[in-house]
Structure 1
Amino acid sequence: MTTRRRVRRVVPALLAALALSLGMAQATGASAHPQAEGKPLPAPRMVHVSKPKVVNPSGHAQPKVRREQGPLPTVSRKKLAELKAAAAKHRAKQRPGQTGGNKAGKLAPPPNQGGFEGLSQPCCVRPPDTTGAVGKTQFVQTVDGAGFGVFRNSDGALLKSVSFASFFSYTAQTIFDPRVVYDKKWNRWVISAAAFPENSTVQRVFWAVSTGSDATGSFYVYTFDPPENSGDLYDFPQLGLDQDAVIVTANIFDSSDHYVRTRAYGMAKADVYNGLGPRFPYFSLGTPGSVAPPVVEDNNASAFLVGAAPADSKLTLFKATGLGRSNATIVQQPNVPVTAYTVPPDARQPGTTDRLDSSDSRFSQNSTQIGNQLLNIHTVNIGGRPTPVWVQINTANSTVPAGQTGRVTESSNSDDFNASVAGSAVGGTSANPIGRMFFTWSSTNVTAGVTHQVRVMSGGRLATDPVNVVGGNNHSQASTFYNPSTDPVERWGDYSAVTVAPSAAGACAAGNRAYVVNERQNSTTSWGSRIGKLGFC
């Protein structure tokens, strides 16, 4: 078993958090001189997973259902509550530095090209933890409780819906934190999820890989028990891809819910796509907070993983080489200096004091990696409002150059949160290979005269556009506030997803259209989801 590590609380002084909430400029905490690349990180275990089952299930077996506690924070709950309270204490009428949009005015979003309803809430499970991926002709969505659905791209027809209890043939505990990615080079679907522990020594983690390009067909289904200490919890797994491996990261907590380490591993596609038992190093990344894997869009031999602590003035960057192989390495890179940030306040709703959970400042979905550029988004506190901020990291020198970070908001006075981003190489250059960006997020507004309940938003920008995305497409709007429990802060989203269509459709060339999926509100007490399309075409 691995050695338990003590949590390292990486948070700035509350004074810095307060200054940021007021919109004051912050100096970065990183040295002006780049740090040296670190030593290879330890992989204390080699994990060998047996051959999978081949399944093609249908139906909705009933699992054991428990109310989720949400993604555990990588600081103490007390510290998170302090940061949340500080974030909401000084709300500006408008975000500092934003008086209705960019200096050039609102950025016109890529046109809304319609959408369709996604999966909805089954009994007793919230929030949806929804994610999704688009393939050549199908869109696959995963949600907590309901499992996964396969939709036809062209008209949104639901072709198949299966509960995870049926899919994984597992009903002992609730299955949570599902993810899905589409491998457009191999034309395969990869689905992952975890189950709550059965006892102090057994917790099940699942992956499934389609045997072909049709997500309504058969899958190889794998499972393993993470080699952690007795009582540890494997939480918030994230899913990515490079050209050789399926990449997974997860946070590990001890029996007292103390954050003790982050894990990463890569499974060789040559194994998991062919029904073979993968063998892989099981890396410990230390305690950087939640770490997002990338979807690598080119043939880069290295994959870059990025983490954001709940509050900091830097991002943590890792370089993984040879994932899926026995000699794989992960090396910590120099820290990436960014403007100091802290956790966002929760989003307000008109007509109630109940708020919507904006989570913390983690990257909650995989990054887009093209060339030496790494793109992701997280929600932070700006002017006492939850605000998504996208960052595009130059992995060659661990920097975020000028013009490669910006905000994503509906307006200057909206509350914006639960964001995801994906990039496309179309329109890219050798200097900046990410030529298009597509976003989704949730938005509310309590300002007199422009109030609205929670919306599913989408937008985008070209590499040559202003950095701030203001405005966007409204794919769904609730008619009343969300209040499914007696909690003062209602669980919302946990994450969303954006993926770029890999194939041309009509006059829309490949790489110019994206599909988004996000939580929508069906009623005061129940959630649904909305899948939307938008494109530069």
Structure 2
Amino acid sequence: MWLLWCSAGAHGQEQPGAPRVIAATKQDTAQQPLRALQPTVSLAAGFVKKPYHANPHATVSLAPPKRDPLLQGAPVVPKASMGAAAPAPAAPKKAVQVTIGKSFDGIGAGFHGPGGTFQVRNAPPDTNGAVGESQFVQWVNTDIAVFDKNTGAVALGPIPGNTIWQGFGGNCEQNNDGDPIVQYDKIANRWVIAQFSVKNGFSQCVAVSTTADASGTYHRYEFQYEDFDDYPKMGVWPDGYYISFNMFHGQNFVGSKVCAYERAAMLAGLPARQQCFQLSDQFFGLLPADLDGATSALVSAEGTPGSAAPPLGSPNFFLALGSQANTLDLWNFHVDWNATANTTFGIGPNHTPNQSIPVAAFTFACGGSGGSCIPQPGNPKPEQLDTLGERLMYRLAYRRFADHESLLATHSVDTGVAGSQTGIRWYELRNQATGGFSVFQAGTYAPGTNHRWMGSIAMDKAGNIVTGYNVSGAVFPGLRFAVRRANDPLGTLTTEKLLFKGTGAQHCILGVGGACPPGCSEPDGTCKLTRWGDYSSMSPDPTNDCALWFTSEYEKQTGAFNWKTRIASLLPKGQSENSLQLGAPPRSSVVHSGNSRLGTEPTARRWRRSRKLLTLKRRP
């Protein structure tokens, strides 16, 4: 979320039950690599507190929240109504220990790189990033940077995000509005990056790299919408780039919108379409499944299990906190690029969820509001921070094993402990060829008295789960992580570890005569800065599928508009990223593009890439 709307287009309705198929408004391929482009100097002055567009269905309960039934204490085994327990993924005989590998500062106050020194001008940062073969790309609102993932050195940036669209023309080149997304398409070894443009109309600006080098050239696209396309979240899938938005018409929430972008065309730099469905205002905060697994590009010619790729022709899955209490809503998005009339989302013309999955009872953070209740230490007492506890947190991590498919999700809840303590609720959903997903395990993590929120969760190829998050309360806002090893009791996380210590509070310090600092004034006359997040990211390293990379916000020095971010890899103890090897893919492998099967190659150890087909070649 970035700027208030400067215009409001006519509010249109999709034809019930049918996708709306719209070609990209603009499309080209950059003639120069990103590293050669000269950023436009930003003329923005002052500080901007981004508006917070909350889930309209979140309400504060007057009664104190009940104790969360999954609050970690004893091992949790899901009830029959929440999905029967099933064998865990194959695990090492000895429990693996996860530790910090690389750790370095990302974009934030005082951050310096080849592009100069970054100055914070807005809050929150909307920290997002992804890891590729040799680089980590991070994007916060306004600026993007490319890092050497092995050394942490800044290879490019910080530069304004819209530099990517320099020479493209229109809103994508002119506006730098934020809500960034960074994805690494592990199937094609390409970067997929996007932000919205919400001045002079509403657009999503999407760029797909032409190589695995994030500083190179990009195929560039603009997709337009009739309403404000807030809080975009994207997932990579073999037949499309899937994306969700919370749509607003003026100040009114009109429902979530889900779209599929034509991935095969975008990888080739060709004109591309989007297929979209507009949902009712009953549904908010959907997340598309995002494909994990270093062998995601590989699946046997018969489409049989054995790789991390979804079954041939599988729909993408979208998940949201349920419209009914204590449920998760799940939709199947089946896209057909050859006959778009066959594309479906959910059930029937109203796009009813394919499943309403029962889960253990929970209360949105902050007594049900999902608002601002995270305390910080200090005297005078600093403001309380936002939780965004009324929605699932990015990403919805998908992984396929030989005998099941897995989805990981997390959100912030009120634990029901004194002081409205906020904790991390997490789920693993599994589909074991039963026709649908159910809860395999779930837990709520909130040890001690501190608050935990703004989490992101992912799994490595061995089935070890790691969640990273913010922590605050008696400690300054910092970063921690916790692990569920593949052979641990269901629904439990191990003792958390410090990822990076916060040493200050986010606080608007009054000036001479009680003057409120720039950017801190509220319409009601108060002086505060509660905005935090709005999201973080945990994603697996495509070169080994063991290391998980996390990036998020922390505070170093008490003040306002001076946030910092951190980037870190988490991996098995005693290992380094360079020592980890890819697991062997199936003997006969195929890469899918769109709905077509492209070919087979023998098992291999080293990637050989072509424009549309990835094969493997044996190392001599």
Same fold, judged at TM 0.5 (above) = yes
Q: Contact 1:308/1:362 (CA < 8 Å) preserved in 2?
A: yes
Question: Which of the residues 119, 124, 137 maps onto 2:134?
Answer: 137
Is 2:310 the partner of 1:299? yes
Amino acid at match of 1:197: K
Deviation by residue 1:308-333 (Cα, 9 ceiling, x = unmatched)? 15883111111112365534322231
Is 2:225 the partner of 1:223? no
- The whole-number CA distance in structure 2 between the counterparts of 1:129 and 1:70 is 12
Amino acid at match of 2:406: Q
Amino acid at match of 1:493: G
Which secondary structure state, in structure 2, belongs to the residue aligned with residue 59 of structure 1? coil
Amino acid at match of 2:545: G
Is 2:246 the partner of 1:235? no
Alignment of 1:334-413 (within 5 A): 334-345=355-366, 346-351=373-378, 352-371=381-400, 372-383=405-416, 384-395=420-431, 396-402=434-440, 404-409=441-446, 411-413=447-449
Is 2:460 the partner of 1:465? no
Q: Give how far 1:90 is off.
A: 6.2
Q: Give how far 1:304 is off.
A: 0.7
- The whole-number CA distance in structure 1 between the counterparts of 2:173 and 2:221 is 16
Q: Give how far 1:303 is off.
A: 1.1
Q: Contact 1:63/1:171 (CA < 8 Å) preserved in 2?
A: no
Is 2:258 the partner of 1:269? no
For the pair shown, which has the larger CA radius of gyration, 1 or 2?
Answer: 2
Segments of 5+ residues of structure 1 without an aligned counterpart are 6-39, 428-434, 447-451, 504-509
Q: Contact 1:98/1:412 (CA < 8 Å) preserved in 2?
A: no
Q: Contact 2:71/2:445 (CA < 8 Å) preserved in 1?
A: no
Summarize the Cα distance change of 1:307–1:468 in structure 2 as closer, same or farther, 3 Å threshold.
same
Summarize the Cα distance change of 1:91–1:322 in structure 2 as closer, same or farther, 3 Å threshold.
closer
- The whole-number CA distance in structure 1 between the counterparts of 2:273 and 2:364 is 37
Summarize the Cα distance change of 1:314–1:400 in structure 2 as closer, same or farther, 3 Å threshold.
same
RMSD, aligned α-carbons: 2.9
Question: Which of the residues 447, 470, 480 maps onto 1:442?
Answer: 470
Which secondary structure state, in structure 1, belongs to the residue aligned with residue 265 of structure 2? helix
Which secondary structure state, in structure 2, belongs to the residue aligned with residue 52 of structure 1? strand
Alignment TM-score, normalising by the size of structure 1? 0.79
Alignment TM-score, normalising by the size of structure 2? 0.69
2:81 aligned residue: none
Question: Which of the residues 150, 153, 174 maps onto 2:149?
Answer: 153
Divergent runs of 4+, >4 A? 1-5, 63-66, 89-92, 95-99, 101-104, 170-174, 395-399, 486-489
Identity of aligned residues (%): 22
- The whole-number CA distance in structure 1 between the counterparts of 2:173 and 2:337 is 30
- The whole-number CA distance in structure 2 between the counterparts of 1:75 and 1:382 is 22
Q: Give how far 1:141 is off.
A: 0.6
2:55 aligned residue: 74
Which secondary structure state, in structure 1, belongs to the residue aligned with residue 129 of structure 2? strand
Q: Contact 1:303/1:321 (CA < 8 Å) preserved in 2?
A: yes
Residues paired across the two proteins, number: 463
Q: Contact 2:229/2:245 (CA < 8 Å) preserved in 1?
A: yes
Amino acid at match of 1:394: R
Q: Contact 2:160/2:176 (CA < 8 Å) preserved in 1?
A: no
Q: Give how far 1:123 is off.
A: 3.9
Q: Contact 2:131/2:541 (CA < 8 Å) preserved in 1?
A: yes
Is 2:552 the partner of 1:518? yes
- The whole-number CA distance in structure 1 between the counterparts of 2:99 and 2:231 is 33
Is 2:212 the partner of 1:213? yes
Deviation by residue 1:219-275 (Cα, 9 ceiling, x = unmatched)? 12211321x2xxx311000011111211111111111x2211211111122111111
Amino acid at match of 1:241: V
Q: Contact 1:71/1:236 (CA < 8 Å) preserved in 2?
A: no
Amino acid at match of 1:150: V
Q: Contact 1:247/1:264 (CA < 8 Å) preserved in 2?
A: yes
Alignment of 1:324-335 (within 5 A): 326=340, 327-331=342-346, 332-335=353-356
Summarize the Cα distance change of 1:365–1:310 in structure 2 as closer, same or farther, 3 Å threshold.
farther
Deviation by residue 1:386-441 (Cα, 9 ceiling, x = unmatched)? 11111122345555335x111234x23220000001123x22xxxxxxx1212110
Q: Contact 1:454/1:481 (CA < 8 Å) preserved in 2?
A: yes
Q: Contact 1:184/1:502 (CA < 8 Å) preserved in 2?
A: yes
